Amino acid sequence: MCTSIVEIVPVEGMAKRGDDWFSLTQAVVAYDHARHAPLADVVTLDFINASLDVGARAGIELTLETAKALHAALGRAIAEAEFEEAEVRGKGAAPSLVKAA
């Protein structure tokens, strides 16, 4: 049964296909049957540029457990990046971003 779980967000970034890089315009996150991975249901990530040909796509299929681990890793990296950006730009980090000693 299809889950109909789909989220679409605008993105700014780059993806690579072969030797060429292309800009991204959106990401599609879904939970449904795997199309390529030898798995049952998966979290899929599709990074695309809708103004380019259909090949301007980077697709990923992950198990739910792997997607959770990736989500946690992204959260940690984002928190560190926010702290770094605040420190580098001299604005000072928000108290919630400062690590306890």
Q: What is the pLDDT of residues 59-80, one digit of tens each?
A: 999 999 999 999 999 999 999 9
Where is average pLDDT lowest: 8-12, 38-42, 87-91? 87-91
- Indicate the burial class of 6 (C-beta count within 10 angstroms; 0-12, 13-18, 19 or more): exposed
Q: What is the pLDDT of residues 11-41, one digit of tens each?
A: 999 999 889 999 999 999 999 887 777 778 8
pLDDT of residue 1: 56
Among residues 34, 45, 33, the alpha carbon closest in space to that of 3 is found at 33
